[in-house]
Amino acid sequence: MNIRISTKQIIIPAVLLCSTLFNANANAKVNQDKPPFSLTLAQVKAWSPTSTFADPKNVSATALESRFVSQLDEKKPALDKQVKLLLAPDGMNNLANYIEPQNKFNLYNFTHWSYVDVLNWFTGAAAVNIPARPWVEAAHKNGVKVIGTVFFAPAVYGGKADTVATLLEMDEYGRFPYADKLVEIANYYGFDGWLMNQETDLTFVKNADNEIVEGQFDYQRAAKLAKKMQRFMAYLTKAAPEHMEVHWYDSMLLDGSVKWQNQLNDLSSPFFEINKSDGVIASENIQGRISDSIFLNYWWDADMVENSVKKINQLNRSAYDMYFGADLWPERNAQRLFQRRDWLDTLFNEDGTSAQSSIALFANNASFIFSGSKSLAAYSNFQNDSKDYLSYYQSEVRLFSGDDLNVYHDDEQSNWPGLGRYIPAKSTLSQLPFATSFNTGHGKLTAHSGKLTQGEWHDVAQQDILPTWQFAIQGNETLSVFYDFEQAYHGGSSLAIRGDLRKGSANIPLYQTAFTVRKNSKVEFIAKQAEQGENLSFWLLTAEDEFISLAFNFVDNKWRKHAMSLAEYDGKIIKKIGVHLKQGTHPKYSANIGYLSVQ
């Protein structure tokens, strides 16, 4: 993946640039670029489940949950149910290559799974980059697929045609052994496919020291290898099981050169779909689907989007298989985190309810790794200071909920409206029982039934199913909702509510569900409130819009359990769960929710 840093078209791969900006946390055992996560092609060739390059501890047994589209406000037009979001945090090898729980709180974390469809384990550390089990498990619990990355660096950064040629080796039966290995590796570890990020310009000639020989090019070999890559991609896509996805990044062309098109056109489409009646050049006997999706580079405009939609319609493919890239790094001249919204206006219609394509977010983790510059302050210092967790989590909420941190509002006039204004959240919550302690998968302490043990930890695999909407507040605008790492009932965090209740009441929807109530069903909540009284209540909403309320009467600031039978609602479907705050006299209202279950 690349960026443009001046008007002179100087191209630098973003992954290499970003990887120089941060280091792995010294107290965490993050394996940056070694097996089982990062493999050379030689290691891939020798790989088997019993080889030294495999690790059974990295195998995920968590199945991919099915999910359904939610609707926060049923009075408003529904958002586009088909648009997909791919998330590609930059440098996951530096951030999350661990299997066992870590003894450090402030490692990179992610909580907004309800908006994401695919997590791309993006890294430029080696040829083949494999996702870490804890992240696969967290993603799968939320119905999100995870794909690894096959990466070939630009020639100026060490990439060479010989390495790509190795990947493309064929056996005597016309098979691609490395493609079969990629499928085998993904099957073994339990993740969901691959992104092919081939950025080595195959036309360059290199000497024995892997240096570019100025003025020398091998165009014939480059074109031959590129067409072979096309065959490789078609083979890999066909060999992959139905649940897997194979994505192609908009980089190399059929002549072997690397020229980012930033759109789907006759030059980029041959690695996505071949329709010979369209007149596009293809390798012999290649037709139809070459890859499941294409990740388009970042320098696009409205005309390119329009032309890409026309092109994909000509190919009889879904526009949602086409992901327009959004590079969120704050100092690159692309979509820039929180600084630009015009690209969203280009990809969606005026009211935000219909998308032209899907979206691929690159470097969304700038809120964690961007350390600031002369012109722009860091969004948080959480990576270096564990006390700064609120700034980090607010920037994560801001990405999806807008400048006001409230996804309930449309934010039409704000600088950054939030992705949640355009992309509907999705939920996996259709089966009972369900329980959550609002545990984000790391903490400064560990709680067991409200009893605290001090000590930092991080294990995203332990993350609970977190609220569908983070966060939606209807009513009192002084209220804020956030994860509290100082108080927890179970795990490392609880859900905190703060604000001035003199300013009015509020509803806070938390979860979209599709639970069918049984005769023995019940709901349980554990919460605490600093003030005495009945300001906080929980509610469940049935498919018939019947409101079921469970009020709290707090007498002290201790964790209290409240339970209610749902027997009288037997057979009904619960479609939403939330919290209500009643107007009161407390200018500094404070409550924490530690546990919620429906059985």
Reported as a single tens digit per residue, the pLDDT across 436-447 is 999 999 999 999
Alpha-carbon span 411 to 428, nearest angstrom: 27
Query: Of 392, 427, 462, which residue constitutes the final position of a domain?
Result: 427
Q: Which residues of 351-366 are buried (b: 16+ CB within 10 A; e: fewer)?
A: ebbebbbbbbbbbbbb
- Does 301 score more than 90 pLDDT? yes
Residues 407 and 453 in one domain: no
Helices (H), 52-176: 92-96, 133-141, 161-167
* Residue 327: how many other CB atoms lie within 10 Å: 27
pLDDT for 529 equals 95
- How would residue 10 be classed by pLDDT, with cut points 50, 70 and 90? very low
pLDDT for 414 equals 74
Q: What is the DSSP secondary structure assignment for residue 204, as one 8-state letter?
A: E
Residues 369 and 467 in one domain: no
Reported as a single tens digit per residue, the pLDDT across 238-271 is 999 999 999 999 999 999 999 999 999 999 999 9
Per DSSP, what are the bridge partners of residue 268?
Answer: none
Percent of the residues in the chain that have a pLDDT greater than 90, as a whole number? 87
Residues 74 and 35 in one domain: yes
Higher pLDDT, 14 or 459: 459
Q: Are 297 and 2 in contact (CB under 8 A)?
A: yes
- Does 15 score more than 50 pLDDT? no
Q: What angle do CA 188, 19, 209 make, to 5 degrees?
A: 90
- Does 30 score more than 50 pLDDT? yes
Q: State the average pLDDT over residues 88-114.
A: 96
Residues 409 and 467 in one domain: no
Residues 114 and 154 in one domain: yes
- What is the CATH number for 31? 3.20.20.80
- Does 87 score more than 70 pLDDT? yes
- Does 6 score more than 60 pLDDT? no
Please tell me whether residue 554 adopts helix, strand or coil conformation: strand
Q: State the average pLDDT over residues 285-301.
A: 92
Alpha-carbon span 527 to 438, nearest angstrom: 12
Residue 586: closest CA among 500, 516, 514, 528: 500
Q: State the average pLDDT over residues 335-363.
A: 94
Q: Are 316 and 351 in contact (CB under 8 A)?
A: no
Residue 511: closest CA among 593, 448, 445, 590: 593
- What is the CATH number for 567? 2.60.120.260
Reported as a single tens digit per residue, the pLDDT across 123-144 is 877 799 999 999 999 999 999 9
Residues 375 and 498 in one domain: no
Query: Of 396, 427, 458, which residue constitutes the final position of a domain?
Result: 427
- β-strand 38-39 against 145-152: which pairing, if any? unpaired
Computed over every residue of the chain, the mean pLDDT equals 92
User: Which of 25-39, 108-122, 181-195, 331-345 is least confident?
Assistant: 25-39
- Does 20 score more than 50 pLDDT? no
Reported as a single tens digit per residue, the pLDDT across 458-471 is 999 999 999 999 99
- How would residue 12 be classed by pLDDT, with cut points 50, 70 and 90? very low
pLDDT for 285 equals 64
- How would residue 2 be classed by pLDDT, with cut points 50, 70 and 90? low
Residue 384: closest CA among 89, 108, 106: 106
Higher pLDDT, 2 or 524: 524
Alpha-carbon span 290 to 3, nearest angstrom: 26
Residues 246 and 185 in one domain: yes
Residues 421 and 512 in one domain: no
pLDDT for 350 equals 84
Element housing 181 (H / E): helix 177-189
pLDDT for 284 equals 58
| Spatial CB neighbours of 157, under 8 Å, sequence gap ≥ 6 | 13, 16
Alpha-carbon span 9 to 598, nearest angstrom: 56
- Does 24 score more than 50 pLDDT? no
pLDDT for 277 equals 54
Domain of 365, in residue numbers: 2-427
- How would residue 549 be classed by pLDDT, with cut points 50, 70 and 90? very high
> Across the chain, which distance is largest between two alpha carbons, in Å?
81
Alpha-carbon span 322 to 304, nearest angstrom: 13
The residue written with tokens 């985190």 in the block is 337
Q: What angle do CA 523, 394, 549 make, to 5 degrees?
A: 20
- How would residue 288 be classed by pLDDT, with cut points 50, 70 and 90? confident
Q: Are 475 and 578 in contact (CB under 8 A)?
A: no
Higher pLDDT, 3 or 296: 296
Q: State the average pLDDT over residues 152-177.
A: 96
pLDDT for 4 equals 34
Q: State the average pLDDT over residues 165-194.
A: 97
| Spatial CB neighbours of 351, under 8 Å, sequence gap ≥ 6 | 77
46, HSE (Cβ side, Cα atoms, 13 Å): 9
Residues 416 and 476 in one domain: no
How many domains is the chain partitioned into structurally? 2
Q: State the average pLDDT over residues 38-46.
A: 97
Residues 372 and 390 in one domain: yes
Q: Are 543 and 559 in contact (CB under 8 A)?
A: no
Reported as a single tens digit per residue, the pLDDT across 448-501 is 999 999 999 999 999 999 999 999 999 999 999 999 999 999 999 999 999 999
pLDDT for 286 equals 72
Q: Could you write out the DSSP letters of every residue in 561-594?
A: EEEEE-GGGTT-EEEEEEEEE---S-TTEEEEEE
Q: Are 294 and 268 in contact (CB under 8 A)?
A: yes
Residues 394 and 445 in one domain: no
Residue 589: closest CA among 526, 530, 528, 510: 530
Residues 416 and 564 in one domain: no
Query: Of 399, 427, 455, which residue constitutes the final position of a domain?
Result: 427
Output the pTM of the full model: 0.93
